[in-house]
A and B are shown apart, each in its own frame.
Chain A
């Protein structure tokens, strides 16, 4: 399939940006200036100023002489790139492949995209009207090669849609600088009377190379399509991406749901055919006012189950602000992994942690509240009760060591031990009674002590002597004494409840 490229050129990029922020400037001649050797040099001028003869590179004082009412603003040359990047990202609604042209424009790879807008004429018209509504002056051309499209956008007259394989005819009448060659070479060409491309396009290649260097040949080849031009897209190409333009702007949640369901349907069908499952996906809604609303989801297991993925998105649909309406939906699977369908069947039969439905449940909970709300514990190599367990890194992490079963452990553990008052007459024997939350508990039976030492490499402090005690009503507690009985600084704590 032959490629088709669109080059969009913004002749008044920065002045348009200033005009967008200050609508009044639309009617007035104004220029942007940068200081240069103690004078103000014009770095950009708006269409009205340019019409009256104020060009880029003039000194401000000269320009003032031409137009006394000239408005002057300080230029911010650094915004150009950022602005282009933003516009390029916005343009990804037209094609996934958008690159920035360093001459103040954008390059779109429109291959296979134009039919979605009903042909190249409509596609181009749509782009131009959108930018016009945003307040940007643009010129755009569509051709088989970037070189020809660029030349036509900058210097072309007449139709800006170059039919396939018509590059040579289109380039003929254009000036030499339309080939994006160095100013020096251009000057040389002009001096020799070869100001038009038609003047040298038919020359022998060896003669051209000898006189003007290799670059002119390369540029010619790129423009004619004999050599491929490589440009770097703003966003890396994502293979799993589906888009759905809508005829009329959508503002209801139901509309968004229908769009999402359709996109999920096609994407999941494709994933299933390729035996893949998605791990993260992003759903973008392009609003008519140029804003992009997006929601993201993630899964534990790679999934290609559209109902499950829809449920995950469903929780977040309410976050989308449709504003004046959404005219394009885009669904991307950013991270995919290979899954074998055989494996899924085995999982579905057995219970356990690898169950697909279970991981789908965790996805839903994590999608709503965040991943840190789901906790699974595995044993850790510590005796200190608080440190004896640690959260598992993943839901299906394997156990590295066995659970210790020797000593009694309470069913409920207080998050931090609470101090209690006790009566303990005999050293190293369990207390007679203790007062907890104002209630006196008389201890009838007891087990212990179980001494747990501080792990000095982690924390300094006193050891704990744990007692498993039962009061007269049969309630069972876990008490400990921090420190030796002989020390004056010992204290008693309650740390948990037994079943």
Chain B
């Protein structure tokens, strides 16, 4: 029986994937990160753990949204008692907020080192450590060489790496398998209750290796992600106080 051309291509693609850093996502025991439809953007429709993800931020508000989205992913990565390392040159993350994402804040260990190159060193060492669930590193600039080193390190282990880049000057290609951009979206009030609803983000997958880029709207609802299926039109609401006065 001869194989059709499509079948051959499919098989070759399957062989190529492990060589391109998707080694673990093919194996059994893939973690369901609860990202729903977003996973269809990745090869084999699985969110790649044991790989490097890059997040681009343009300010502290974006940084907070990104940290929130990553925390959401971490909550499933750390479900079976794992530990994560958060490495930065100046720590801004407020540990108690992890409780909102179902993570015990004491399971996150912060490493603060002054210089960027020391941060790079720490990230690489941490990625080599089998005992971690994930490593989050905050650095502004990431050279291709550095990202390649990270990617090679994660391919050895099952550690998932997240790099948060705040206001990067140079957005050149890196060896990370995905580049994301998370920004805040106005929340929607639940049942017309006053106040602020669940945190909602615009999740943009700018680059993904062997996958499809895309843009989704995601909400963190208590303990899991929820997709906002319909595109919410951007309505400029009347400021709160005006409403109160009227």
- Smallest CB–CB gap between B235 and chain A, Å? 10
The answer to whether A473 and B186 have CB atoms under 8 Å apart is yes
In the complex, what distance in Å separates the CA atom of A392 from the CA atom of B106? Answer: 8
Is the C-beta of A256 less than 8 angstroms from some C-beta in chain B?
no
Residue in B71, B81, B95, B100 with the greatest tally of chain A CB atoms within 10 Å: B95
> What separation, in Å, do the CA atoms of A488 and B67 have in the docked complex?
37
In the complex, the chain B residue whose C-beta lies closest to that of A395 is B109
Whether A476 pairs with B199 at a CB distance below 8 angstroms is yes
Would you list which residues of chain B between 156 and 195 have a CB under 8 Å from chain A?
183-187, 189, 195
For residue A377, CB closer than 8 A to chain B, the reply is yes
Cβ proximity bits A119-135 to B, threshold 8 Å, 1 near / 0 not: 00000000000000000
Residue of A nearest to B131 (CB): A355
- Is B49's beta carbon under 8 Å from chain A? no
What chain B residues lie within 8 Å of A412 (beta carbons)? 60, 63-64, 67, 92-94
Given contacts A446-B196, A476-B199, contact A369 B241 (CB under 8 A): no
Q: Which residue of chain A is the closest to B106 with respect to CB atoms?
A: A378
| A476 adjacent to B184 (CB under 8 Å) | yes
Q: Do A425 and B92 form a contact, CB below 8 Å, given A361-B126, A470-B196?
A: no
Q: Does A433 contact B (CB under 8 A)?
A: yes
Which of A58-66, A238-246, A271-279, A402-410 makes up part of the contact surface? A402-410
From A353, A389, A443, A497, B95 is in contact (CB under 8 Å) with A389
Q: Which residue of B lies closest to A354 (CB)?
A: B131
Complex contact B186–A474 (CB within 8 A): yes
Known interface pairs A365-B125, A446-B196, A474-B200; A497-B112 also in contact (CB < 8 Å):
no
Q: Does A194 contact B (CB under 8 A)?
A: no
Main secondary structure of the interface of A (DSSP, over half): mixed
The listed residue (B64, B99, B130) touching A498 by CB distance below 8 A is B64
Contacts of B237 in A (CB 8 A): 444, 472
- A375 contacts B106, C-beta separation under 8 Å: no
B interface: dominant SS: mixed
Smallest CB separation, B70 vs chain A (Å)? 9
Chain A 214-244 interface mask (CB, 8 Å, partner B; 1/0):
0000000000000000000000000000000
A474 contacts B71, CB within 8 Å? no
Could you tell me if B220 and A369 are in contact, using CB atoms closer than 8 angstroms? no
- Return B95 CB to nearest CB of chain A, in Å: 4
A338 at the interface (CB under 8 A from B): no
Q: Does A357 contact B (CB under 8 A)?
A: yes
Option from A430, A472, A497 in Cβ contact (under 8 Å) with B236: A472
How far apart sit A176 and B184, CA to CA, in the bound complex (Å)? 96
B236: chain A residues within 8 A (beta carbon): 472
Interface residues on A, range: 35 or more
What is the CA–CA distance of A424 and B245 in the complex, to the nearest angstrom? 12
Shortest beta-carbon distance, B219 to chain A, in Å?
Answer: 11
* A375:B113 contact, CB within 8 angstroms: no
Closest chain B residue to A495 by CB distance? B94
| Structural contact, A432 and B186, CB atoms closer than 8 A | no
Interface size range of chain B in the complex? 35 or more
* B97: interface (CB < 8 Å): yes
* B187 adjacent to A411 (CB under 8 Å): no
Most chain A CB within 10 A, of B118, B131, B220, is at B131
Q: Is the CB of A499 within 8 A of B83?
A: no
Q: What are the residues of chain B within 8 A of A445 when measuring CB–CB? A: 186-187, 189, 195-197, 240
Residues on A with C-beta less than 8 A from B112 are 373, 375
A351 to B84, CA, bound (A): 10
Indicate if A464 sits at the interface (CB-CB under 8 A).
Answer: no
- Whether a CB of chain B sits under 8 angstroms from the CB of A447 is yes
Complex Cα distance A373/B220, Å?
31
Which residues of chain B in 83-127 are interfacial with respect to chain A, using CB atoms and an 8 Å cutoff? 83, 91-97, 99-100, 104-113, 118, 121-122, 125-126
Chain A 333-374 near chain B by CB (<8 Å), digits 1 or 0: 000000000000000001111011110111011001100011
Does B82 sit within 8 A of A, measured CB to CB? yes
Q: Measured between C-beta atoms, what is the minimum distance from B77 to chain A in Å? A: 11
Q: Top 4 closest A-B pairs, CB basis?
A: A499-B68, A355-B131, A497-B64, A413-B94
Name B residues whose Cβ lies closer than 8 Å to a Cβ of A. 60-61, 63-65, 67-69, 71, 80-83, 91-97, 99-100, 104-113, 118, 121-122, 125-126, 128-133, 183-187, 189, 195-197, 199-201, 220, 236-237, 239-242, 244-245
